């Protein structure tokens, strides 16, 4: 049976996962400071992106995402494992991205994250993308 603390941790982690998608989809990249630790390591290489720290990733997102006319993240199927002040998650993301010529690229991927409970709440310390599929539709 889940404890109240674990239920709370799971809900807080799900909220942070939503805040990640909202920050990226609205191009409010500074909001990612509430998602990741300052020293987080983020690996987007499975989808052709960079591997870097939070500052590098925010700059990269600001550079590459304007090439798409529209995109959004739908994140679910959260596998959340809480162990005291640490946690791991694996979440499915469906990410349609529309190009300026109105083609749509549908990307399916998994976010594999490690977490730590900080004084400001749960934060991601590492994120690794795993490619599931991609399709031009």
Name the residue ranges covered by the structural domains of the chain. Answer: 4-136
List, in order, residues 6 or more apart from 24 with CB less than 8 Å away: 32, 61, 65, 73
**CATH class given for the domain over 4-136:** alpha beta
The model's pTM is 0.94
* Each residue's pLDDT tens digit, 8-50: 999 999 999 999 999 999 999 999 999 999 999 999 999 999 9
* Each residue's pLDDT tens digit, 74-102: 999 999 999 999 999 999 999 999 999 99
List, in order, residues 6 or more apart from 19 with CB less than 8 Å away: 31, 34, 35
């Amino acid at each position: 049976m889940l404890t109240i603390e674990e239920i709370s941790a799971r809900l807080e982690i799900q909220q942070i996962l939503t805040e990640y998608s909202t920050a990226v989809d609205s191009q409010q990249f500074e909001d990612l400071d509430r998602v990741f630790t300052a020293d987080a390591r983020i690996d987007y290489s499975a989808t052709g992106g960079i591997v870097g720290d939070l500052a590098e990733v925010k700059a990269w997102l600001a550079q590459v995402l304007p090439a798409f006319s529209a995109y959004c993240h739908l994140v679910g199927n959260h596998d959340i494992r809480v162990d005291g002040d640490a946690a791991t998650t694996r979440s499915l993301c469906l990410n349609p991205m529309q190009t300026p010529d109105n083609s749509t690229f549908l990307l399916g991927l998994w976010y594999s994250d490690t977490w730590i409970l900080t004084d400001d709440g749960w934060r991601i310390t590492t994120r690794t993308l795993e490619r599931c599929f991609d399709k031009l539709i």
